């Protein structure tokens, strides 16, 4: 008898970094709930990829990447039951009854009787230390602080065996730790035993220093325990340059929506499934920069390449300084160092500007492109983001790195089975 695949619901789904890990591991989606219109489209496009891959028809998906067919034509070739798992809606108290009904309809359509896993991480700005520093009220009045209570409502209704709740390290310290205590109590009162670890994406093969709180809970009656994750033993051999140097150089504002690579994929790109020989280069697009910013970028790139040093804002020549508040802006500019084993944490602020992610090539004098940011997050080159460039950067910065998500999903599968 063939086992039915394990099922999942994803809340606050974003572009689908967590979903990518689950899909690769053989999980069957019931619903992805996401309020951002462009992220919801990205999810549909990625589900199209997985559908065509499963059915041996990936050439159709690549026709879309080459822009030989439209998005509408692509979606029309995918069964509605696959794409309708994406629900473009905000999760609010008022909206929950409608969302519950929609999920139940999806379960009926897919003949699914049980939800095995609930996953998701509410928007993290309210928990982030940087966000709290910028807010005079320290995010106290931010309604996003309480989205975990809505997450728990889904737990109580669908009673999955296991849930994954992902967030920033600031979650543990917000409100002097009282918020985190409250969250744990809510999970426990819903019938779950809860444990967490502070995990770094680099330990999972991602070329990025990205620490996240990964909370895993399971129904109290199940004899389970938090999985042990082995550190990736190969990733330390590689450097950030391994994900940059096969991409064509760009001028600020230059945009390659569909193009060609200038080199064969590096060992890292092949080993970790970021790029293979069939892939097409897409979304290698960079934002524009004014003359002053480019001179600032030159200053920071030279400091790194010649001295392996990251200067403070105060060290800039006077004619390049524009901010009076030197305390807040002392770490505003940063080079993505090519010779380090990982980059700084990729964040959604990339949608606003790229000053914290300067490309290391002094001949380009620009911030990183959408494709470069996606690679730092371990998204494969065949992962296509929908929407304008700012929306793409936001989706990438908010995502769980797929390499990390896949290894977590494998452990969750082992736990349940």
Residue 157: its H or E element: helix 147-158
- Tally Cβ neighbours within 10 Å of residue 398: 23
Distances from the Cα of 93 to the Cαs of 31, 52, 148, 151, 171, in angstroms?
18, 36, 12, 10, 22
Question: Can you tell me the distance from the alpha carbon of 395 to that of 380, in angstroms, rounded to the nearest whole number?
Answer: 14
Q: Which residue in the list 39, 47, 124, 373 is annotated as catalytic?
A: 124
Active site residue 305: no
> What are the CB-based long-range contacts (under 8 Å, 24+) for 229-236?
229/197, 229/199, 229/203, 229/204, 229/407, 229/408, 229/411, 231/203, 232/203, 232/204, 232/205, 234/205, 234/271, 235/202, 235/203, 235/205, 235/206, 235/207, 235/341, 236/341
Four-residue CA torsion sign, 370, 375, 378, 380: positive
Q: Pairing relation of β-strands 117-120 and 211-219?
A: unpaired
Q: Which residues pair with 167 in a beta bridge?
A: 213
Question: Can you tell me the distance from the alpha carbon of 43 to that of 26, in angstroms, rounded to the nearest whole number?
Answer: 17
Burial class (CB within 10 angstroms; exposed 0-12, middle 13-18, buried 19+) of 341: middle
Number of helical H runs and strand E runs in the chain: 14, 9
Question: Can you tell me the distance from the alpha carbon of 109 to that of 92, in angstroms, rounded to the nearest whole number?
Answer: 25
Residue 7 in 3-state DSSP? strand
Question: Can you tell me the distance from the alpha carbon of 149 to that of 158, in angstroms, rounded to the nearest whole number?
Answer: 15
Q: Concatenate the DSSP letters of all residues of 242-287 into one string.
A: GGTTTSPP--TT-EEEEE--SSPPPHHHHHTTS--TT--EEEEE--
Work out the angle at residue 306's Cα, subtended by the Cα atoms of residues 210 and 252, and round it to the nearest 5 degrees.
65
Question: Can you tell me the distance from the alpha carbon of 66 to that of 256, in angstroms, rounded to the nearest whole number?
Answer: 12
Catalytic positions: 124
């Amino acid at each position: 008898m063939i086992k039915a695949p394990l099922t999942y619901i994803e809340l606050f789904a974003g572009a689908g970094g967590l979903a990518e890990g689950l899909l690769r591991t053989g999980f069957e989606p019931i619903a992805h709930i996401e309020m951002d219109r462009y992220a919801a489209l990205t999810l549909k496009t990625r589900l199209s990829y997985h559908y065509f891959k499963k059915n041996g028809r990936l050439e159709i998906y690549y026709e879309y990447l080459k822009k030989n067919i439209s998005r509408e034509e692509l979606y029309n070739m995918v069964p509605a039951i696959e794409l309708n798992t994406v629900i473009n809606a905000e999760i609010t108290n008022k909206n929950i009854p409608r969302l519950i009904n929609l999920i139940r309809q999806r379960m009926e359509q897919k003949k699914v009787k049980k939800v095995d896993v609930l996953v998701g991480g509410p928007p993290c700005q309210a928990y982030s230390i940087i966000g709290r520093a910028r807010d005079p009220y320290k995010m106290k009045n931010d309604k996003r602080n309480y989205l975990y209570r809505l997450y728990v409502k889904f737990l109580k209704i669908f009673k999955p065996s296991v849930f994954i709740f992902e967030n920033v390290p600031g979650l543990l310290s917000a409100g002097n730790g009282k918020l985190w205590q409250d969250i744990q109590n809510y999970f426990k009162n819903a019938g779950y035993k809860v444990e967490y670890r502070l995990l770094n994406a680099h330990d999972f093969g991602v070329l990025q220093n990205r620490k996240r709180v990964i909370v895993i809970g399971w129904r109290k009656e199940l004899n389970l325990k938090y999985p042990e994750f082995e550190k990736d033993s190969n990733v330390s051999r590689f450097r950030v340059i391994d994900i940059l140097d096969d991409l064509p150089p760009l001028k600020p504002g230059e945009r390659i929506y569909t193009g060609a690579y200038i080199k064969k994929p590096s060992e890292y790109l092949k080993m970790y499934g970021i790029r293979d020989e069939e892939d097409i280069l897409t979304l290698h697009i960079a934002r524009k920069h004014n003359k002053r910013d480019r001179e600032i970028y030159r200053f920071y790139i030279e400091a790194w390449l010649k001295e392996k040093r990251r200067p403070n804002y105060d060290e800039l020549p006077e004619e390049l300084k524009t901010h009076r508040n030197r305390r807040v802006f002392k770490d505003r500019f940063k080079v993505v160092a090519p010779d380090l084993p990982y980059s700084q944490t990729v964040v959604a602020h990339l949608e606003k500007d790229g000053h914290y992610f300067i490309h290391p090539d002094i001949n380009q004098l620009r911030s990183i492109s959408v494709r470069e940011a996606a690679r730092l997050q371990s998204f494969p080159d065949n992962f296509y983001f929908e929407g304008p460039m700012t929306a793409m950067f936001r989706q990438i910065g908010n995502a769980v790195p797929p390499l990390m998500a896949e290894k977590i999903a494998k452990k969750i599968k082992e736990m349940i089975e």
